[in-house]
Structure 1
Amino acid sequence: MIFHHILLQIFHNFNQERSISAPFHLLRGKRSGQTVQDVGIYQLHQYFGILPKLTRTKYNEELSTLIENQSLIVKDDGFYELTRNADEQLKKMQKLSLDGWHYRGNEHIYFARLSLIIQTLSHQRAGQMTFVPIQKDEQVQQWAKGFLKANQYKGGQLQPRLLNEIHSSLEQTNVEESGKNILILRLSGYGSSGLTWQQIGFQENMNDIDLQVIYIATLHNWMNIILANSEYFPLLHQMADGLRIKNPLTGSAFHSAELFNNGHSIEEISKIRNLKLSTIEDHIVELAMNEPHFKLEQFVSTVDIKKVFTAVDDYNTRKLKVLHEVVPHLTYFQLRLVLARGEQDAT
């Protein structure tokens, strides 16, 4: 089961250093400082926010299955252990390329736009322009109206151009055919409605949550192709443009980052923004995670960076308390910065 494999991978990355609830918050895209920093510390960017509507009930059901098949042991203190069975499953895990950190659920906006435009063009071709739109969101409807008008859909040439771009771009998208089929089955047109997850599950012999994960992975990869090749897919690029987040910083962290990049110290930012020093430190850690040109050496020496990752390897942990005992001259803030930045600065 694909979702089970993803859960096991997240638990594996957490290395028994987070509670049994941590993957739930990660998958839903919780914007708390702890969850956001866990993304960087444990290298879990691809899974962040891929299932924003995941319920606690559904999550607990899937955990129960992992416990029943002896992949996961939950301790009384709310933490966990992975079993040998889990290790074997991880070796067989189907590799899915996800980009939750940069899309944040915006892939659904792209597909909503696409599906409404396809539905409209299909009805236009049939000469039946009175229909119930598949997408109820007014913003999506207004966007689609603007797109259709700008691309002169009444001339009748938009549909073949769009279909050509869809076929061509999907051919270049390196995902399983099952993922592409799921996308097509979700589309509606004149005389045919898109299938529900339950209907597709019956047809593909898969459960709902696995289907949705494959669907999201397919959208992420497809959109990456479209956004990187705007000259070849101009229509699809219009639908996807602006939906991949270039600056994933939270609103408050963004303001602190601006001040920091303008030369203000952490202490100065704390006074300017009237926020606790620890809050500004959280923002700088988030900046280190997301800014490719962030200079970690302004806070931690290259020698100490290497010491931290040597300790990570030697003790098989990313727990700040343990690492602080190994390199006591570094503050917890410095340790968080190093871990959030990753080993790219350790070479």
Structure 2
Amino acid sequence: MYFEGIILDCITEINENRSISGIFHLLVGKKSIQSVHDARLFQLEQYYGIYPTLRRIDLQAIVSNLQQKKLVDNGSKDGFYQITEKGRRHLIKFKKSPLYAYYRGLLYNGTDVLFFKRLHLLIQTYSNIRMKNTAFIPVVDDVDVAGWVKAFYKKNWSVTASLILYEELHKLLQGLEEKEAEVLVNRLSGYHHYGMSMDQIALNYQLPIHDVNLLTVGIIHQMMYQIHRHKEDYPVLYQLIRENNNNKFITKTANQTYQLLLERYSPETIAKIRKLKLNTVYDHIVEIALYDKEFSIEPFVDTKTRKEIVSVINRCKSYKLKTIKDNCNPYISYFQIRLVLTRL
């Protein structure tokens, strides 16, 4: 139900502006400007990167199943789909589930995995050391996470800290549905106890494996959201999600271009300085505009050009770059169109 609902929502919002490949890149969190742009443009930020292990073949199988159930139809061309009236009723049902409101994919992309790894290993560590067992096998095989947990434990080694962690988790889980809280707890490991695998949870709750993956991600996002909102109530858990990276852009190279833009270098000069193609610098500028709403696009797109691009988008009712370009004055570039799209 969960996976089908998410796919139906994506198909509805994208409305044939992107093929099924675009939805795949969105869900796996492809590190590209286009995928991030699509997430924001079609108001699907909550789904960005929520299923990084998804295989293309599995997505296509789900879509084929949706067709068989008559929840979607083939679109105007191959790879494009439209939701049916039956599909809309199915989507309404999905949107009534608590899980729908949990996802914050673009906000927590990457940090959600790190948070759960730290939490999982920290609970296992506290549980075993309280029982004076220092020879346990860590459930998380990640050197960086192990190092973080070790440093955290040295700083917060008292019995009181473990009790506070318990109280914080208990309070957090009370805000979830009973099944959601059970799924999360069943994943955790402790003294002489190892948490369930995704397959075991799927079997235990009679859920498809895709839904188990998406349910787990949704629960983690909701936990992180509540910790962020009420960090004074979760002093221990908040340390697990504190930001470690102040770089607001998706790539370091875009941040380097941004620093040169602040020094008032032109894109052409930046390309020469950094020995990059001009189009690569343009990609960086679009990325910066996506992530920094205070970044002015006026030096690259004047008001008249901006108005024309917006007018074409409204007239054509399309966000496809080629469609917009074909209906604009020839002097308007793809770069300018992409910049205007970041502000819609």
TM-score normalized by the length of structure 1: 0.87
Contact 1:52–1:105 (Cα < 8 Å) also in 2: no
Looking at structure 2, the residues matched to 180 and 245 of structure 1 have their Cα atoms a distance apart, in angstroms, of 32
Looking at structure 2, the residues matched to 137 and 221 of structure 1 have their Cα atoms a distance apart, in angstroms, of 24
Partner of 2:101: 96
Quickly say closer, same or farther: Cα 1:312–1:89, change in 2 above 3 A.
Answer: farther
Asked whether 1:340 is paired with 2:336, we answer: no
Uncovered stretches (5+) of structure 2, i.e. residues with no partner: none
Task: Give the CA deviation at 1:285.
Answer: 0.9
Q: Helix, strand or coil: the match of 1:296? A: coil
Amino acid at match of 2:166: L
Q: Which moved more, 1:182-191 or 1:76-85?
A: 76-85
Looking at structure 2, the residues matched to 339 and 181 of structure 1 have their Cα atoms a distance apart, in angstroms, of 42
Partner of 2:159: 156
Contact 2:29–2:109 (Cα < 8 Å) also in 1: yes
Contact 1:197–1:211 (Cα < 8 Å) also in 2: yes
Contact 2:117–2:145 (Cα < 8 Å) also in 1: yes
Uncovered stretches (5+) of structure 1, i.e. residues with no partner: 343-347
Partner of 2:121: 116
Partner of 2:168: 165
Amino acid at match of 2:183: I
Contact 2:24–2:59 (Cα < 8 Å) also in 1: yes
- Superposed CA deviations along residues 233-291 of structure 1, whole A, max 9, x for unmatched, are 22112211126876132122221122112222222212212222221111111111100
Partner of 2:27: 27
Partner of 2:67: 67
Which of 316, 331, 334 aligns to 2:333? It is: 331
Looking at structure 1, the residues matched to 196 and 256 of structure 2 have their Cα atoms a distance apart, in angstroms, of 44
Partner of 2:294: 293
Partner of 2:265: 264
- Superposed CA deviations along residues 206-235 of structure 1, whole A, max 9, x for unmatched, are 222112212212212321332344433221
Quickly say closer, same or farther: Cα 1:91–1:299, change in 2 above 3 A.
Answer: farther
Instruction: Give the length in aligned residue pairs.
Output: 338
Looking at structure 2, the residues matched to 204 and 302 of structure 1 have their Cα atoms a distance apart, in angstroms, of 56
Asked whether 1:252 is paired with 2:265, we answer: no
Looking at structure 2, the residues matched to 15 and 29 of structure 1 have their Cα atoms a distance apart, in angstroms, of 20
Looking at structure 1, the residues matched to 315 and 82 of structure 2 have their Cα atoms a distance apart, in angstroms, of 20
Amino acid at match of 1:316: K
Looking at structure 1, the residues matched to 129 and 109 of structure 2 have their Cα atoms a distance apart, in angstroms, of 33
Looking at structure 2, the residues matched to 244 and 111 of structure 1 have their Cα atoms a distance apart, in angstroms, of 18
- Superposed CA deviations along residues 144-166 of structure 1, whole A, max 9, x for unmatched, are 11111111x2x322211111122
Looking at structure 2, the residues matched to 92 and 215 of structure 1 have their Cα atoms a distance apart, in angstroms, of 20
Which of 119, 135, 142 aligns to 2:140? It is: 135
Q: Which moved more, 1:178-187 or 1:73-82?
A: 73-82
Q: Helix, strand or coil: the match of 1:82? A: strand
Partner of 1:345: none
Q: Helix, strand or coil: the match of 2:256? A: helix
Task: Give the CA deviation at 1:186.
Answer: 0.7
Quickly say closer, same or farther: Cα 1:179–1:311, change in 2 above 3 A.
Answer: farther
Amino acid at match of 2:293: P
Contact 1:300–1:334 (Cα < 8 Å) also in 2: yes
RMSD: 2.6
Looking at structure 2, the residues matched to 222 and 299 of structure 1 have their Cα atoms a distance apart, in angstroms, of 41
Looking at structure 2, the residues matched to 269 and 322 of structure 1 have their Cα atoms a distance apart, in angstroms, of 30
Task: Give the CA deviation at 1:142.
Answer: 1.9
Looking at structure 1, the residues matched to 325 and 15 of structure 2 have their Cα atoms a distance apart, in angstroms, of 18
Contact 2:24–2:56 (Cα < 8 Å) also in 1: yes
Contact 1:73–1:82 (Cα < 8 Å) also in 2: yes
Q: Which moved more, 1:134-143 or 1:223-232?
A: 223-232
Contact 1:107–1:243 (Cα < 8 Å) also in 2: no
Contact 1:46–1:99 (Cα < 8 Å) also in 2: yes
Q: Helix, strand or coil: the match of 2:101? A: coil
Looking at structure 2, the residues matched to 316 and 75 of structure 1 have their Cα atoms a distance apart, in angstroms, of 16
Looking at structure 2, the residues matched to 323 and 288 of structure 1 have their Cα atoms a distance apart, in angstroms, of 19
Partner of 1:107: 112
